[in-house]
Structure 1
């Protein structure tokens, strides 16, 4: 694709504009909704991350690399399989030997959405403050203490649209709930992003993610 990967777009030297990032997030959500609910067989991608999102001439997002994907039969909603995915985007149920559903993609999308909002990677060992190392934990703390502006350093455009940005952070928090039954479906996630469904206050996603990210065994 002419504009490369979402990873190079988000984490390059120039910060992409907020409007573009919002459209990309909506496009990825729409693509996952198609895979989960509109294909003849449900497809669980299992490896949603910025490197697997490509951008075309008009910066429309295209989900790529289905090498780890699971195709579920019409009578299936879940499956048991070995761990798949990339560190930091992997849902907690992979580590608990629980049945795998489309909610694993929702979790990965939630982490990806935070990266799109903040234009920084999910895990940054060189962060100025220890509390900023794990993006998901830092984002929830900023949301809880009404300090979301801290996530948007030198991003005046997003700061001016802070209410929309807060909504996006809340949606991400619903996506990364440790308990998959608390996570929104991709359909509801898409509807919240496009504004047709209200976003309610999310609970604390859990500290489980921190232990997984910081454990070298994973």
Structure 2
């Protein structure tokens, strides 16, 4: 099988696409890390990446709301009455931090897929992530 050709045209679902697709930047494997980060937030929060009918407008864009909750040390607000998840709030915080690293606007700040795996497995420490930027809200 000839694998010398790489397709670089935009493919994917809006909201899951990394910012570099919209900024004429080089496309690397970190675009997949970005998409994974959005999906990880959806799994943690049991909701979609964008909720037009959110009770609070600050909760419409999941990535922005999740970072706000994390920054304010209120990650419990991301759960929808999930008592089991509340029992291990430290693990929840860790997964939110991993997701925040994955959705950094600057691809150089995102972990590689290998490092992401190590973060999830707990073989490397997860440091405090910077604000991933509200760029995600501009592509909804």
Runs of 4+ in 1 over 6 A off after TM superposition: none
Stretches of structure 1 that go unaligned for 5 or more consecutive residues are 1-40, 42-70, 214-218
Shift of 1:183: 0.3
The structure that has the greater radius of gyration is 1
Contact 2:50–2:62 (8 Å) recurs in 1: yes
Structure having the higher strand fraction is 1
Shift of 1:80: 7.1
Structure having the higher helix fraction is 2
2-structure distance, mates of 1:122, 1:161: 23
Residue 205 (structure 1) aligned with residue 132 (structure 2): yes
- TM-score by length of structure 1 reads 0.61
- TM-score by length of structure 2 reads 0.94
> Which of 81, 99, 104 is residue 172 of structure 1 equivalent to?
99
1:1-218 alignment runs, 5 A limit: 73=4, 81-213=8-140
Over the aligned positions, Cα root-mean-square deviation in angstroms equals 1.6
1-structure distance, mates of 2:55, 2:88: 25
Contact 1:92–1:178 (8 Å) recurs in 2: yes
Higher relative contact order (CA 8 A, sep 6+): 2
Q: Which secondary structure does the structure 2 equivalent of 1:181 belong to?
A: helix
